[in-house]
Every structure is written in C-alpha cells, then in structure tokens.
Amino acid sequence: MSYTLITANRNYSSWSLRPWVLMKALAIPFEDRIEPFASATNYAAFRSFSPTGQVPALVDGDRTVWDSLGITLYLADRHPGVWPADEAARAFAQCAVAEMHSGFSTLRNDCTMNVGVRVEPHIHSPALNRDIARLRELWEQGLDRFGGPFLAGRVFTAIDAFYAPVAFRVRTYGLDVGPQAQVWVDHMLAHPAMQQWEAEALAETWREESHEAEIGAAGRIIEDYRAV
C-alpha cells in the first residue's frame, strides 16, 4: 500500500486539509504532493491528476480517488479509526461530515480559509450568523453526548478532520462559537498535525490573487504571520 495525497496551498485549501489531517492524525503513511493554486481557475492543470480538476486527490497505485469525502470513505474501508467505534457516535459523525460537505455555504463564501492572517470582518449577514449558530449547536451536541475532547469522543476521527478548516476560520475571523465549542477549537489548533499544517502555511511565499482578494472582501487584515 503506497498512497500519494495531492493537495494545494496550505494557506487556502480547506478541502485539502480534511484528508491530510485525517491521515496524519491516524498515522496513515502517504507521500505528500502539493499542486499550488496558480490562478483563480486551475481546472485544466488539475485535470492531469484529478477527474474533477480539483484537489484533493488520493493516488493508490493505478487508482485515483477524488473528493475529500470520497477519500475518507475509501480510507475507512482500509484503515481502522476513521469513524468512531461506538455506533451512536459513528452515526452522529457521519451525519455531521455529510452536513459539512454539503452545507455551510455562507461560512465558506464569507469566511474563506487563510491560515496565516487575522481579519476584522465586516458586519455578519443573517445567513452567516445562522451558519455560526448551527456550528455551535452541532459541536456542543457532540461534545455533550460523547464527552470530548473531540467531537465524537476521546479520539480524533473524520468528523474532526472535516471541521478542522473551520477551526482555522474561527481564529482567523474571531468568530464567536461559545466557550464550549471554543475549547474544541483550541484543542484542534494545538493538535500536532494541525500545527504542522499551520507551520507549512506560514512558510509559503506564493500568493494567489483571487484568494487574496477574497480575504480583502471579507474584512480588514489586522495581522499577517506569513513569510514575506
């Protein structure tokens, strides 16, 4: 078994982070290959390794597995620990992963991921406030039902990987998710895999114009920790 995981820029690529942090946290070995966003549209270039022209993609021998959820399901068939062992926790985790995969569109659009900056956001829209309220509700439910410190119990599973990019967003934009959920955010940001991703993000020197413009549209950058 020899995996290659293809991802994009550490600063920007939230979808890349999901399988990357999952595989790191579960000690699933893989070759790490970065294909950076060179422009606002990378479809043609990314089609050389992914049928959707998007990241992430997992190469397993002569097989390519695409999409962060597709990769997670593929890994779950081959490695223990992707989903919680407890049946109730597993059902909760799978529903929450599906919700993250298909929902929270306003959060994605209004608070795009950029690990290395801190932003004073514009006034939140009602739709963004609804997304933040739902995050708080979901995270508190998982922590209350399964005892933490992770969202479905005592160990890191796919639900934590899928909400890992949101942990960075909470910090970048100073989002208020309530004290209990903030404890999970802080716990995630201290995880060794998340710290490795952040260190690599801060070391990146490339910038992509459209992603930088999205941050500018979201609010005022008040701190930038990235390499010059």
Rg (Cα) of the chain, in Å, rounded?
17
Q: pLDDT tens per residue, the chain (228 residues)?
A: 699 999 999 999 999 999 999 999 999 999 999 999 988 889 888 999 999 999 999 999 999 999 999 999 999 999 999 999 999 999 999 999 999 999 999 999 999 999 999 999 999 999 999 999 999 999 999 999 999 999 999 999 999 999 999 999 999 999 999 999 999 999 999 999 999 999 999 999 989 999 999 999 999 999 999 998
Q: How far is CA 24 from CA 71, 157, 222, in A?
A: 14, 11, 31
For 124, how many CA atoms within 13 A lie in the half-sphere containing its CB?
16
At residue 64, the 3 state secondary structure works out as: strand
CB 116 within 8 A of CB 225: yes
CA distance 105 to 109: 6
Q: The pTM is what?
A: 0.97
CB 38 within 8 A of CB 65: no
